[in-house]
Amino acid sequence: MSNRTMVTEFLLRGVSDVQELQVLHFVLFLVLYMAALVGNLLIISAIILDHRLHTPMYFFLMNLSVLDLSSISVTVPKSMSNSLLNTRLISYAGCVAQVFLFLVFTSTDFALLTVMAYDRYVAICHPLHYERLMNRRACVHMAAGAWITGIAYSALHTGSTFMLPFCQSNVIDQFFCDIPQLLKLACSDSYRSELGLIACGLFLVVNCFVFMFVSYVQIFRAVLRITSQQGRNKAFSTCLPHLAVVSLLLCTGSFGYLKPPSSSPSGLDFGMGVLYAVVPPMLNPVIYSLRNKELKAALKKLMGWRLISTK
């Protein structure tokens, strides 16, 4: 039998051992992180400070911005500091925390997007009952339910992953601790963990997707019955950003988690990690502010000058 050594730390993948490329990696990630930081903080501040935005839709949007800001803060700053300090180390406990928190924020993000689809369904299909169905207490319970779902899902996968013994290597072929890459390092056969990861992930995604699909079928049927063009445009302007954010999260997450990990270090795996861990939190504020006149007005008022040009 081969000797098994206890793994106490992991080595994350860097862009290159060349100092200049490490600096470039730091600068690139700094720009992406600052864009996500500024965009999400602006949305959170605008919603908090503008009383006109104290509605269920913007309450959920504020939660979404908090989740996006948190998820990107779990992964990118550590990668940036490693590039700056010319190291690749992350402790075992740090890796566990990174996996758990990243899964909490991303899975809660998706659950919250499902709740937001229900909010749009009630607002468009049952406008007379909107205030009764989407009252403050109901919104808080829905948001809390999304968070509890994300925490339970993350605890399940984090626990099942780190119960495995790691003896193949301690080098993770990604810039953060990612479950598909960690499963490659397990000395025992990890196919059951992989199947469990895919099955539970698909169960959550399929249920949320079916709920959103049914909601939007009803929404589009109701919108097509609206006689005024202005009413249709207003309904679509509140739905299209949500659909764009859902599509972005689904596409990037599916590519990252359903693509079989390569047996050797791959630039494609690294790129996929950037695609689903960095891009959605950075683009979501842009997507939501482009077609939302109320949010754009609140952002202009917050900044004191025009940051977003009106069409």
User: Which structure tokens are listed for 146?
Assistant: 């999304």
Query: Under a CB-based contact definition with an 8 Å cutoff, are residues 197 and 157 in contact?
Result: yes
- The residue that leads in pLDDT, 203 or 176, is 176
CA–CA separation, 39 vs 34, rounded Å?
Answer: 8
Query: Under a CB-based contact definition with an 8 Å cutoff, are residues 204 and 110 in contact?
Result: yes
If you average pLDDT over each of 28-32, 188-192, 301-305, which comes out highest?
Answer: 28-32
% of residues, the chain, pLDDT over 90: 26
Backbone angles phi, psi at 48, to 5 degrees: -70, -40
Q: What is the pLDDT of residues 88-124, one digit of tens each?
A: 889 999 999 999 999 999 999 989 999 999 998 998 8
Reported in sequence order, the residue ranges of 37-178 that DSSP labels E, i.e. its strands, are: 89-91, 171-172
Buried b (16+ CB within 10 A) or exposed e, 165-185: ebbeebebbbbbbbbbbbbbb
Q: Look up the pTM and report it.
A: 0.85
Q: What is the pLDDT of residues 10-24, one digit of tens each?
A: 888 766 666 777 888
Q: What is the pLDDT of residues 176-198, one digit of tens each?
A: 998 888 878 877 665 566 666 66
CA–CA separation, 48 vs 109, rounded Å?
Answer: 20
Check residue 72 and give its pLDDT: 94
Which residues touch 132 (CB under 8 Å, ≥6 apart)? none
Q: What is the pLDDT of residues 108-118, one digit of tens each?
A: 998 999 999 99
Query: Which superfamily, per CATH, for 9-303?
Result: Rhodopsin 7-helix transmembrane proteins (1.20.1070.10)
Check residue 77 and give its pLDDT: 92
Q: What is the pLDDT of residues 51-74, one digit of tens each?
A: 888 999 899 999 999 999 999 999
Query: Under a CB-based contact definition with an 8 Å cutoff, are residues 36 and 72 in contact?
Result: yes
Domain range summary for the chain, segments of one domain joined by +: 9-303
Backbone angles phi, psi at 126, to 5 degrees: -135, 60
Q: What is the pLDDT of residues 208-263, one digit of tens each?
A: 888 888 888 888 888 888 777 777 777 777 777 878 888 877 777 776 666 665 55
